[in-house]
Structure 1
């Protein structure tokens, strides 16, 4: 679930609580190119105010126009945009692109309160809407589940699908945690050091003082889990990385220089990790963007995290170690030419 979509649900509830009517639009199917994926949300207030996005803006404008001209619909309905080339151009879709949306009139804030309360508790939730009578039910979803629509029932999934464990509660961790939360990761921060633990102040994260390796084992990392060591302290980082590298976690990384990460890999081999497991460690963590400040380094790491999550092949990104090595080769070559 995108954090923008959570904002849509929260704003819709606030409007309903203030006595306004709200229309919730959900992208349910796309063909060809489309600006927003299935599951994207848009909430329209009865006076035309909007939050969220289902396109680049043209479809939103048409929905607002229809709402003002025709009023709030009385039942859920399916609408299509961009079926032909002319309509595709009119609504800002690439030629041949098609998008279907379910439009659902919301009547009371209570219809969203239970959902938002469970999302606030960190749960992954499915919301089922039956178009025939507008009946809504919610239940627990699983991480592999996605939006589904069979023409009669729309099942939307809300909540964090991915988990991120940060070892260390310093300034960089705080910057990265805020970015990860906006990317819809459930973020756990582990730091047994009292001086760092007591100063942590990022809302929406889970904070623990347990030893990092114990936290990794308790989390039981799966293919939707990322583990990142940021303390520079081998006593904290290495054991956690050892457990994470033995798991199916899709991203395991560590901060530090190339030299420190080379030494870390040597230490990990002493823990009986095989070469494939050691090679899976990403370090120095992040993509090379010339970052220096904690905020910039957090952006670099978040970019690599998202790239790996989205299956971007290594040849299309430039990790820090490879980038700096390439720069050194280029500088040596330039120096040789000048001499």
Structure 2
């Protein structure tokens, strides 16, 4: 296994950050840790990159124990933390050279690994890192994490706060890196990015809810979902919350996703109820579940 966690727990005083976490990541796999802020994703990353010692359990990365072999792990992995952590006063090229030197290598030696990414920031190589856009900072940080040709790449919420185009480009880069044999563990609060991973672990309040392929998790969703909209979306949600047959309801883009306690019911019945609450322009249609629906169901 490239990554293995066995019953890992970590607390900060009275706060249980992660509780009894176990999962594995296969060599060459793109594995996603999916969950909201405060779910425990960063704590897991810091344990795996030897920045934190777990209270209980054991873990290994690239065959090395995270406590006993921390020096070996630091040479074998690349880590891109959630917050931009490069030297803002150094230029793009100076940052890259610095990190290459730390690991006893050069930009030229492993250029083939970062070439696709570096050519996008090369026009700004003399610009200070702190003056780069969010997307360019992200690409520079990825280059610095890859410059020593790591076996395993850790990316902690790499696309948070980045525009949609840069997010798409970033995931395309990850797919190309995976094809070069690098094992990737990425965390994200964005449910739509989960579908881009080979397997995912859904995490909430420091506990794993489910581990499987994105498709398998979605296929386990037990209910029929309805897209519902009306002239007043706030009132619509309130009305559905008061409906006696409600199973779940939550906002989703221009609609709300509604599920009913009953396996079979007439849509006309629900529409009639909503009309009686004073709503107009009511639209109800079945839709396919997605990762967010599955997460909300598991989190209940």
- Does TM, scored on the shorter chain, surpass 0.5? no
Higher-Rg structure is 1
Higher strand content, 1 or 2: 2
TM-score by length of 1: 0.27
